[in-house]
Amino acid sequence: MSTSQGESPSQGPSQSQSQSQGLGQSQGHPQRWLILGVILLATLTVLLDNTVLNVAIPSLTKELDASTADIQWMINAYSLVQSGLLLTAGSAADRYGRKKMLATGLVLFGVGSVTAGLAQSATQLIAARAGMGVGGALLMTTTLAVVVQIFDDTERVKAIGLWSTVNSLGFAAGPLLGGVMLEHFWWGAIFLINLPVAALALVAVLKLVPESKNPQGDRPDLLGAALSTIGMTAVVYAIISGPEHGWTSFQVLGPGAVGVAVLAAFVRWELSIPHPMLDMHFFRNQRFIGAVAGAILVAFGMGGSLFLLTQHLQFVLGYEPLEAGLRIAPMALSVVALNLAGVGARIVAKLGTPAAIALGMTMLSAGLAAIALFGGGTDGGYGGMLLGLLVMGAGIAFAMPAMANAIMSAIPPEKAGVGAGVNGTLAEFGVGLGVAVLGAVLNSRFAALVSVAAASLPAALASAESADERARITDAYASGLETSQLVGAVAVLLGGLLAAALLRRAERADSAVTIAA
């Protein structure tokens, strides 16, 4: 980086030359598009693992004897560890070298994938997913940093747009890839397929990506990372455990109280240190608060709905994993098509950030509601679900560019790296929270309609003594899915309107200050 951006002015000739080559201030790095392709491949692999596990839920339930809570932790362990470490990973990359941290992330992600693919129990798989989350945190922060590093101002917007498109594709296409793999291989293959991709990306990173670092940058906030991860994990554990143990039980209130206390300690720690992982003073900015609320709820709606949809298609409607993935694919295709066409960016330019966020979140909410109300129930209909998926995809494509613009504009330019870390953290936390909350609503509704001792739908169906009892269990599960989707729709709608209102008010306040000046 240049001295004005915080890089050390006293670096030796070789390092300065490397950084100058990396930045390419006039034309960018000569191999920038090839490097971008490598980075996008690594990014896609990490993001696919956010959702690829969803279609394997029936296989995992059967072969690892996993309960619903186990399944939720298999999904949450990855996203929660990753979200807790994103800010620290970005700070470490700035201080110790972005190329170095990118290569380290690929190695950790590959090792975690091997461990997950060969897991023999639910506990082993949960631990492996947590390890993959560490590698994923390093990859997600450093890939965007390298994109900014190798492109000049004239091409950077286009490059970041492609990076954002891959983010959307990776998140939504996981179920399709998982379905293809499960159609031909056992469930562990969805993790082992990461190995050749990680190996190829590692070789390309070591050969092509220029090194850059800021030795005078902020020190990694290890205690802050530990506090945030522990606090979020405890809170989500309480949510997951609620239906099983009762919301007023010690098993729920205890972890919930610990989580809130640890998160409070995290806030106090961040306020007390000179180089915090997350500057809490940002939360005095209405623009930042509005963007935070919206970013969490977009991820909440996407993560929770995909978790529920894959179960609906397989458990209730009886589709095979590949068939389920193909039926979810329209959402991914609509997101990618609209992002590649630049529709989201044009809507932000025409309507403004608050209105674009309100429109996108309203469409996301309407899509969730359409799936709940017209998604087929137990009769196998797909038309209502297709409509909901397309509307959801359009809402995501409209809201995401506006949300990224709001977060980055709310943070000073010198803290742009922190802004990227915040954006990634919110997305990962929102996914985990969506799975936990909507999964908890599903379990509560299911338990209220039928009285079964089994911990999962397949086990409940296996214990049924008659066809009528199996039908009642399936209907109860479908009703639970419908209720949880509607809860998600209401949360996304209200949150989107709140975010838009806060951003509108912040813009008016900024305009008033400008006029007064």
The pLDDT of residue 8:
37
The pLDDT of residue 274:
81
The pLDDT of residue 168:
66
The pLDDT of residue 115:
92
Q: Which of 322, 459, 325, 344 shows the shortest CA–CA distance to 403? A: 344
Q: What pTM value is reported for the model? A: 0.70
Separation CA 255–CA 248 (nearest Å): 12
Q: Number of helices (H) and strands (E), helices first, in the chain?
A: 19, 0
Separation CA 180–CA 430 (nearest Å): 27
Contact 438, 337 (CB under 8 A): no
416-449 and 68-96 helices, crossing angle to 10°: 180
Separation CA 357–CA 340 (nearest Å): 19
Contact 42, 206 (CB under 8 A): no
Separation CA 405–CA 289 (nearest Å): 13
Q: Which of 320, 315, 310, 490 shows the shortest CA–CA distance to 385? A: 310
Alpha-carbon separation of residue 21 from 30, 189, 467 (angstroms): 8, 39, 69
Separation CA 407–CA 294 (nearest Å): 10
The pLDDT of residue 172:
60
Separation CA 331–CA 207 (nearest Å): 36
Q: Which of 370, 376, 410, 361 shows the shortest CA–CA distance to 390? A: 370
Report CA Rg, the chain: 23
pLDDT, averaged in runs of 10, over the chain (517 residues): 37 38 50 83 76 74 77 77 77 79 90 89 88 87 76 67 70 70 80 84 85 66 83 76 72 89 92 81 78 78 76 76 77 80 78 87 90 69 84 85 70 61 73 79 81 66 77 82 86 84 82 71
The pLDDT of residue 257:
94
Contact 239, 436 (CB under 8 A): yes
Contact 217, 359 (CB under 8 A): no
Residues sharing a CB contact under 8 Å with residue 286, sequence separation 6 or more, in sequence order = 502, 503, 505, 506, 509
The pLDDT of residue 156:
65
Q: Which two tokens stand for residue 59?
A: 């296989």
Contact 169, 335 (CB under 8 A): yes
Letter for the amino acid at 182? Answer: L
